[in-house]
């Protein structure tokens, strides 16, 4: 390890120690996350200015920063499946009736698919507004290698994909394999498995009240145990955000961003429009959008830096239940389904934009109303089952583009700006899932108004 790396790691450790001082001042999690975000941006910029883009010293230093950043993401991924399983199981057991289960699922999934449909339309709008096209984009050695990797990793999965097979993949056949996250639809399979166990617990309560009550007490104990684990890990959020943001800023290639600046700007305009759409939907159902976004912004910040919708599930459930007044039964469903179904950014906006850009290269008019309607329908239907981890948007694009008769080369050509845009897409995915949970709670009249309208700063992890 050379001197530059030692200095960089030393400064990083000093910043971590500085963040620990916020605990003594009694700062809320939101302020801690903001501090971590700001320190990460400043430190990342400092590394860029000191060493320049693509520096070996920066790459080696980031490998050490990843111990904190990627380590935190892996801890969250560790608790995702236990949290989903315990939350859904406990939520259904608390219903004391299976009748509400179908309505909750229908409302959550319906809201997710509706917002994805709108997101696809927004993608078409902003791409045509900016006049973006794939014509003239050059495919170099790096893009060729990327395309080859994409085709080897995804092509087999996408080629055989159809709607019946997709639906069938949701049904669990080995819950232990699903709990390990072995497939892109593992989260939904775990939700279904937990739902069946929950309904079985309710049936046992009816048939043998004594055993049923003991079982329900055990489920409540499991839920409380898992939530303690979640809050323990979430206390590390500011440190994870610091490390992840440092990596993002220090590793950014400004030249590539400038070269594809039109696509970056159009993408973030589309993302901004969709956040406004979420706000409008929330206001229609009696939720103050400004209060909503103020309460969930620490969750969006982590989603932005981690680029993983699935890893954000624990924070999403906590924010919905403890800051928005959404019952656990709805929050668990919204966070779990939102990580794989109807992702507004990765499975809605992004593939629609790529399709519009590629269409002129094969002689298709991207302004043709029938073609747009077909594209929006394909995007919405295919948005089910997109994994809530890095690469989910690529998977979605490789479903939509061939379905529309379009080549997939553009997916590789945008490799340079993919991480930058993916951060915003992930934040929008998470916002969409929490919007679905909040709207469902409002429609079912189960929102805790005291929590929703409380002005005091609630701490997510305590």
Work out the average pLDDT over 47-61: 86
pLDDT band of 258, cuts 50, 70, 90? low
pLDDT band of 292, cuts 50, 70, 90? very high
Over 50: is that where the pLDDT of 458 sits?
A: no
pLDDT band of 133, cuts 50, 70, 90? confident
Phi-psi region of 286 (alpha: psi -120 to 50; beta: other; left: phi over 0): left
Report the pLDDT value the prediction gives residue 307, as an integer from 0 to 100.
81
Q: Is the Cβ–Cβ distance between 165 and 385 less than 8 Å?
A: no
Residue 273 lies in a domain: yes
Beta strands in 14-134, from DSSP E residues, in sequence order: none
How do residues 100-110 score in pLDDT, each as one tens digit? Answer: 777 888 999 99
Work out the average pLDDT over 335-363: 88
pLDDT band of 242, cuts 50, 70, 90? very high
Tell which wins on pLDDT, 383 or 40.
40
Tell me the percentage of the chain whose pLDDT exceeds 90: 36
Instruction: Give the H or E element holding residue 90.
Output: helix 56-95
- For the chain, report the end-to-end CA distance as a whole number of angstroms: 38
Residue 428 lies in a domain: yes
**CATH code where residue 42 lies:** 1.10.3860.10
Question: For the chain, what is the domain count?
Answer: 1
Report the pLDDT value the prediction gives residue 395, as an integer from 0 to 100.
74
Over 80: is that where the pLDDT of 446 sits?
A: yes
- Range with the largest mean pLDDT of 100-109, 274-283, 306-315, 356-365: 274-283
Q: Is the Cβ–Cβ distance between 143 and 413 less than 8 Å?
A: yes
Report the pLDDT value the prediction gives residue 144, as an integer from 0 to 100.
56
| Residue whose entry in the numeric block shows the structure tokens 């479903």 | 399
Query: Residues near 412 by Cβ (< 8 Å), separated by ≥ 6?
Result: 139, 143, 144, 146, 147, 150
| Reported pTM | 0.79
Find the range with the poorest average confidence among 246-260, 414-428, 429-443. 246-260
Neighbour-count burial for 177-207, b at 16+ CB within 10 Å, e otherwise: ebbebebbbbbbbbbbbbbebbbebbebbee
Residue 19 lies in a domain: yes
Tell which wins on pLDDT, 256 or 229.
229
Residue 460 lies in a domain: no
Report the pLDDT value the prediction gives residue 76, as an integer from 0 to 100.
83
Q: Is the Cβ–Cβ distance between 328 and 224 less than 8 Å?
A: no
Report the pLDDT value the prediction gives residue 84, as an integer from 0 to 100.
83
How do residues 213-232 score in pLDDT, each as one tens digit? Answer: 999 899 989 988 988 888 88
How do residues 162-219 score in pLDDT, each as one tens digit? Answer: 567 767 777 888 888 888 776 766 777 888 898 899 889 888 988 998 998 999 899 9
Over 60: is that where the pLDDT of 462 sits?
A: no
How do residues 398-429 score in pLDDT, each as one tens digit? Answer: 778 888 888 877 766 676 667 788 889 999 99
Report the pLDDT value the prediction gives residue 439, as an integer from 0 to 100.
97
Q: Distance of CA 417 to CAs 232, 265, 412, 420, Å? A: 34, 11, 11, 5
pLDDT band of 94, cuts 50, 70, 90? confident
Residue 457 lies in a domain: no
pLDDT band of 447, cuts 50, 70, 90? very high
pLDDT band of 43, cuts 50, 70, 90? very high
Q: Distance of CA 408 to CAs 35, 355, 376, 411, 412, Å? A: 40, 9, 18, 6, 8
Residue 461 lies in a domain: no
Q: Distance of CA 51 to CAs 42, 45, 248, 251, Å? A: 14, 10, 15, 11
CA angle, residues 99, 102, 103, in degrees to nearest 5: 90
Find the range with the poorest average confidence among 183-197, 335-349, 356-370, 401-415. 401-415
Q: Is the Cβ–Cβ distance between 126 and 266 less than 8 Å?
A: yes
Report the pLDDT value the prediction gives residue 52, as an integer from 0 to 100.
81
243: Cα separation from own chain's centroid: 19
Report the pLDDT value the prediction gives residue 391, as an integer from 0 to 100.
57
Find the range with the poorest average confidence among 130-139, 201-210, 238-247. 130-139
Report which of 322, 98, 87 is spatially closest to residue 219, judged by C-alpha positions: 87
pLDDT band of 31, cuts 50, 70, 90? confident
Instruction: Give the H or E element holding residue 98.
Output: none
Report the pLDDT value the prediction gives residue 1, as an integer from 0 to 100.
63
Residue 307 lies in a domain: yes
Query: Domain containing 174: what range?
Result: 3-452
Work out the average pLDDT over 443-456: 85
Residue 100 lies in a domain: yes
Q: Is the Cβ–Cβ distance between 95 and 101 less than 8 Å?
A: yes
How far is 445 from 283, CA to CA, in rounded Å?
A: 15
Report the pLDDT value the prediction gives residue 416, as an integer from 0 to 100.
61
In this structure, the dihedral spanned by the alpha carbons of residues 303, 294, 101 and 202, taken in order and rounded to 10 degrees, is 90
Report the pLDDT value the prediction gives residue 148, as an integer from 0 to 100.
59
Find the range with the poorest average confidence among 251-255, 306-310, 406-410. 251-255
Over 50: is that where the pLDDT of 375 sits?
A: yes
């Amino acid at each position: 390890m050379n001197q530059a790396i030692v200095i960089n790691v030393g400064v990083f450790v000093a910043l971590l120690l500085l963040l620990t001082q916020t605990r003594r001042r009694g700062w809320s999690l939101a302020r801690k996350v903001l501090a971590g975000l700001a320190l990460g941006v400043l430190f990342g910029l400092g590394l860029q200015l000191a060493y320049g883009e693509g520096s070996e010293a920066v790459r080696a230093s980031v490998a050490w920063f990843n111990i904190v950043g990627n380590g935190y993401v892996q801890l969250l991924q560790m608790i995702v499946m236990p949290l989903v399983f315990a939350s859904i199981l406990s939520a259904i057991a608390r219903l004391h009736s299976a009748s509400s289960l179908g309505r909750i699922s229908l409302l959550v999934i319906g809201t997710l698919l509706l917002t994805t449909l709108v997101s696809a339309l927004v993608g078409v709008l902003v791409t045509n507004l900016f006049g973006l096209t794939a014509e003239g984009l050059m495919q170099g050695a790096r893009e060729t290698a990327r395309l080859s990797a994409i085709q080897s990793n995804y092509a087999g999965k996408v080629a055989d994909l159809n709607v019946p097979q997709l639906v069938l993949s949701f049904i669990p056949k080995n819950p232990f394999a699903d709990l390990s996250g072995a497939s892109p639809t593992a989260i939904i399979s775990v939700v279904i498995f937990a739902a069946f166990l929950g309904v079985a617990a309710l049936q046992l309560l009816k048939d043998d009240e004594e055993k049923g009550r003991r079982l329900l007490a055990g489920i409540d104990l499991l839920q409380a145990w898992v939530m303690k684990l979640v809050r323990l890990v979430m206390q590390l959020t500011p440190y994870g955000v610091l490390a992840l943001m440092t990596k993002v800023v220090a590793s950014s290639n400004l030249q590539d961003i400038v070269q594809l600046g039109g696509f970056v700007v159009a993408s973030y305009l589309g993302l901004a429009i969709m956040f406004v759409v979420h706000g409008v939907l929330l206001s229609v159902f009696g939720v103050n959008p400004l209060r909503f976004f103020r309460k969930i912004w620490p969750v969006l910040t982590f989603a932005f830096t981690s680029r993983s919708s699935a890893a954000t599930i624990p924070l999403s459930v906590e924010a919905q239940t403890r800051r928005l007044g959404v019952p656990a039964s709805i929050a668990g469903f919204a966070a779990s389904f939102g990580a794989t179904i109807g992702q507004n950014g990765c499975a809605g906006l992004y593939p629609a934009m790529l399709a519009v850009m590629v269409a002129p290269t094969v002689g298709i008019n991207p302004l043709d109303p029938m073609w747009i309607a077909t594209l929006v329908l394909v995007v919405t239907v295919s948005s089910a089952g997109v994994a809530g981890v890095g690469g989910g948007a690529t998977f979605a694009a490789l479903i939509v583009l061939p379905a529309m008769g379009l080549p997939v080369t553009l997916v590789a050509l945008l490799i340079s700006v993919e991480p930058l845009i993916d951060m915003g897409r992930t934040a929008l995915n998470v916002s969409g899932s929490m919007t679905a949970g909040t709207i469902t709670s409002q429609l079912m009249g189960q929102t805790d108004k005291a929590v929703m309208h409380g002005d005091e700063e609630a701490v997510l992890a305590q």
